[in-house]
A and B are shown apart, each in its own frame.
Chain A
Amino acid sequence: MSVRTVNRGRRVVLVVYLVVIAIAGLMGAILGATRPDIVDPVLFGVVQLPASPLGMAAYGMITVGIAIGVLLGAVAYVAARFDTHEPGGE
């Protein structure tokens, strides 16, 4: 298995990861723009962010990015340590 083809798997997964984070950011930005009256972004219950499109986008991207990023880190760790597949064999 070449390095390039292995990287393709990782690249696709990372692109999906980034797309999902971007969607979270977009949702935050739109909510911040349209309903600043009902949002109050406090990152992890500690860091107060402004109720603006930027603040809400940052809130969405950081929260989702870290939550799913932890799982993605676990994927990378498990794949490196416990994946026993032999290419071409069963």
Chain B
Amino acid sequence: MAGQQLALTVLMGLVLVGVAALLTRIEDWRQYTPLAGGSAVAVGEDTGYGHREKPSGVIRWLTTVDHKDIGILYGVFALLALAIGGLMVMVMRFELITPASDVVSAQFYNALLTSHGITMLFLFGTPIIAAFGNYFVPLLIGADDMAFPRINAIAFWLLPPGALLIWGGFLVPGIAPAQTSWTMYTPLSVEQAHVGADLMLLGLHLTGVSATMGAINFIVTIFTERGEDVNWANLDIFSWTMLTQSGLILFAFPLLGSAIVMLLLDRNLGTLFYAVGEGGGPILWQHLFWFFGHPEVYILVLPPMGLISYIIPRFSGRKLFGFKFVVYSTLAIGVLSFGVWAHHMFATGIDPRLRASFMAVSLAIAIPSAVKTFNWITTMWNGRIRLAAPMLFSIGFISNFIIGGVTGVFLAAIPIDLILTDTYYVVGHFHYIVMGAIAFAVFAGIYYWFPIFTGKMYQRTLAKWHFWLSMIGTNVTFFAMLLLGYMEMPRRYASYDMVTVGPLEAQTLLHQAATVGAVILLVGQVIFVWNVVSSWLDAPKVTDTDPWDLKQSGLFTREFGWHADRLTAADGGEQQTVTDGGEKHEATDSPQPGDTEA
């Protein structure tokens, strides 16, 4: 047995050496300069815009350090994770059509529930934001690339192994996946003996390291790599939100990493960090987890808010109303987000004086969020609105954000929280934010910048179908969940035939409505995937240097200046091929200083 293992280990080592040798023979990696610019249009496409230094095919994507390529990699990864997380929840929704547990086992349901949460937050939410950030922050601030291109690549390449570890329990036969829920509360997560939970914790740790490296990169890039004409006063709103988000990551994720290591030690080496009695107890885990966990909410929502603040003015034909106040509210949310974590623990029996102070800060954080909503609506109020897909998703964001936000304010009040905690009301509330708002902003961003990162235009009718199905699906699903919460339906249950609170008939009906909504959502996302893939592959190239008619309202910005330069260069114009980043050229459409504001 031992001999066999030794032989296997040696064999694996030889295979790895062979792969390394093969790669060095195929391509000489060292010849590529990290700042080699280039177009990130369809794979292998030659636009003549400065990527002759790049290898072709798969090797390009494995070795790239170009911020736009890495942005595309992040985006593809995140959308795959969205599909996987979405399919997981579809199984759960079908399970909940009837009160009894008759589609999957309760254990498998718990595993899906755990994995759905972790996948959506860590493998879709954070990476898709990094996708936009990587692609567009350097373009928007006039930088050649990210400050640390290689670290940028490392940060991305930590994600796939992280994902494999997180899903390891499903992928490796013979070991059960983690069933801890995404909150991983102790003592359950310490005592659950599945190897899948260890793998998940390790994977989560990797994604945390990845996010931290990315955040450091964004902070340094925005501080030190801005173009000469970009200052703090005219820095665009999306970069402001990326900067604030990166600051939050820098303080939150390392703490999660430490807490996870302690949990792993408790699980595997018999330490007692979270042990009842000898150690800090389960409450220690909850404090550490939520000190990360609540800023994580804002880590996920601030850049989408930045996208909305960026897109709404461009389809309203006017500058963002109260730009400064939107920036201030972003910073205020960033600071306050570290002072609200214990509102997730109102029902744990912590000191009532502590609870009261956390309630006050939790209510206060609604103010900067409301300031943003106020400014978006005021921008639209006198605007010449064009209801293109990015704008539809932005308006959908506002509508869903209001519902998710108002339901959240009630949860911040201790007496209401004590009644509604651990019910579907909570699930409905935060899904209005994560699906109804964050994912909607992501879709708005994808459609808005589709001409830039694909060089093509999406199919408008399909995009509108995508919007309406998503809007209706979101509201049917999560509205039903809010009602389920009012009927005291507990969350995280695979079956509810034994639930004795509330009228079972009405609860079953609402669960069925939520499942119907989820199916509508699924159909919408299938249309989205079809639209993106078919448009990317088959649509004619965009030849318009200003596909959204931004010049008309004076809101033409740097990234579209870069797009215009690319088109001019591809047409055989006399323009000099330069590193990417939207540096100014003669006779181009590059915007002037100050254009980024709004």
State whether A16 and B398 are in contact (beta carbons under 8 Å apart), knowing that A8-B385, A23-B479, A71-B374 are contacts in the complex.
Answer: yes
A-contacting residues, B262-300, CB 8 Å: none
The complex places the Cα of A23 from the Cα of B428 at a distance, in Å, of 14
Are B380 and A13 interface neighbours, CB within 8 A? Answer: yes
Q: Does A49 make an interface contact (CB < 8 A)?
A: no
Q: Once bound together, how far apart are the Cα atoms of A68 and B482, in whole Å?
A: 20
CA distance A68 to B405 in the complex (A): 12
Contact of B380 (CB < 8 Å), options: A9, A31, A34: A9
New A-B contacts (6) at CB < 8 Å, excluding given A75-B378, A83-B321, A83-B381: A1-B384, A16-B398, A16-B399, A20-B399, A75-B377, A75-B381
- Which chain A residues lie closer than 8 Å to B402 at the CB level? 20, 68
Residues of chain A with a CB closer than 8 A to B506's CB: 34
- B319 interface residue (CB < 8 Å to A): yes
Compute how far the CA of A87 lies from the CA of B483 in the bound complex, rounded to whole angstroms.
45
Are A87 and B317 in touch, CB under 8 angstroms?
Answer: yes
The reply to whether A10 and B395 form a contact with Cβ atoms under 8 Å apart is no
Chain A residues with CB below 8 A from B479, complex form: 23, 26-27
Asked if B318 is at the interface of the complex by the 8 Å CB criterion, the answer is: yes
If A9-B316, A34-B506, A71-B370 touch, whether A83 touches B399 (CB-CB below 8 Å) is: no
Count residues of chain A with CB under 8 A from any CB of chain B. Answer: 33
Which residues of A from 44 to 90 have beta carbons under 8 Å from B? Answer: 64, 68, 71-72, 74-76, 78-79, 83, 85, 87-90
Closest to A39 in B: B486
Instruction: Give the interface SS of chain A, mostly helix, strand, loop or mixed.
Output: helix
Interface residue? B553 (CB, 8 A): yes
- The answer to whether A30 and B378 have CB atoms under 8 Å apart is no
With A5-B384, A9-B385 as contacts: A74 and B487 at CB distance below 8 Å:
no
Tell me the nearest residue of chain B to A16, going by C-beta: B399
Q: Which residue of chain A has its CB nearest to the CB of B406?
A: A64
User: Inside 8 A of A85's CB, which chain B residues have their CB?
Assistant: 318-319, 321, 382
Taking a contact as CB atoms closer than 8 A, the residue among A16, A20, A83 that contacts B378 in the complex is A83
Among A13, A26, A34, the residue within 8 A (CB) of B503 is A34
Question: Is A79 touching B486 in the complex (CB atoms < 8 A)?
Answer: no
User: Contact at A19–B399, with CB atoms within 8 Å?
Assistant: yes
**Neighbouring B residues of A10 by C-beta, 8 Å:** 381-382
Interface 0/1 of A2-25, CB less than 8 Å to B: 000110111011001001100100
Shortest C-beta distance, B416 to chain A (Å), equals: 13
Is B539 among interface residues, defined by CB-CB distance under 8 A? no
When distances are taken between beta carbons in the complex, the residues of chain B under 8 Å from A19 are 399
Alpha-carbon gap, A75 to B321, bound state (A): 11
When distances are taken between beta carbons in the complex, the residues of chain B under 8 Å from A79 are 321, 378, 381-382
Contact with A along B491-514 (1 / 0, CB 8 A): 000000000001100100000000
B384 nearest CB neighbor, chain A only:
A5
Interface class of chain B by DSSP: helix
14 A-B contact pairs sorted by A residue (CB < 8 Å): A12-B387, A13-B377, A16-B399, A26-B479, A31-B483, A35-B502, A64-B406, A68-B402, A75-B374, A78-B374, A79-B321, A83-B318, A83-B382, A90-B319
Shortest distance from the beta carbon of B548 to any chain A beta carbon, whole Å: 15
Report the nearest B residue to A38, measured CB to CB. B486
A9 near B381 with CB under 8 A, answer: yes
Q: How far is the CB of B391 from chain A (nearest CB, A)?
A: 9
> Would you call A35 and B378 a contact (CB within 8 A)?
no
Query: How far apart are the CA atoms of A79 and B376 in the complex, in Å?
Result: 11
Q: Are A27 and B482 in contact (CB under 8 A)?
A: yes
User: What are the interface flags for B362-394 relative to A under an 8 Å C-beta threshold, 1 for contact and 0 otherwise?
Assistant: 000000001000100110111111010000000
Q: How far is the CB of B442 from chain A (nearest CB, A)?
A: 20
B382 near A88 (CB under 8 angstroms)? no
Most chain B beta-carbon neighbours within 10 Å: one of A8, A31, A87, A90: A90
Complex CA–CA separation, A88 to B398 (angstroms): 26
The reply to whether A31 and B486 contact each other, CB–CB distance below 8 Å, is yes
Residue on A with the closest CB to B377?
A75
C-beta contact mask, B585-598 vs A, less than 8 Å → 1, else 0?
00000000011000
List the B side residues contacting A9 at CB < 8 Å: 316, 380-385
Q: Indicate if the CB atoms of B554 and A89 lie closer than 8 Å.
A: yes
Contact A35 B487 (CB under 8 A): yes
Closest 7 CB pairs of A and B: A9-B383, A5-B384, A85-B318, A79-B381, A34-B506, A90-B554, A9-B385
Q: Are A90 and B321 in contact (CB under 8 A)?
A: no
Q: Which residues of A contact B321 (CB under 8 A)?
A: 78-79, 83, 85
How many angstroms between the C-alpha atoms of A16 and B554 in the bound complex? 27
Asked, given contacts A27-B482, A71-B374, A88-B554, whether A76 binds B595 with beta carbons under 8 Å apart, the answer is no
Q: CA A31 – CA B506 in complex, angstroms?
A: 10
Report Cα–Cα, A88/B385, bound state, in Å: 15
A13, B381: Cα distance in complex, Å = 7
Q: Are A23 and B377 in contact (CB under 8 A)?
A: no
CB contacts (< 8 Å) of A20 on chain B: these are 399, 402-403
The residues of A that contact B318 with a CB separation of less than 8 Å are 83, 85, 87
Instruction: Select B475's contact among A23, A72, A76, beta carbons within 8 Å.
Output: A23
- Residue on A with the closest CB to B321? A83
- CB-based contact A88/B553 at 8 Å: yes
Closest to B507 in A: A34
A31 vs B475: C-alpha distance in the bound complex, in angstroms? 17
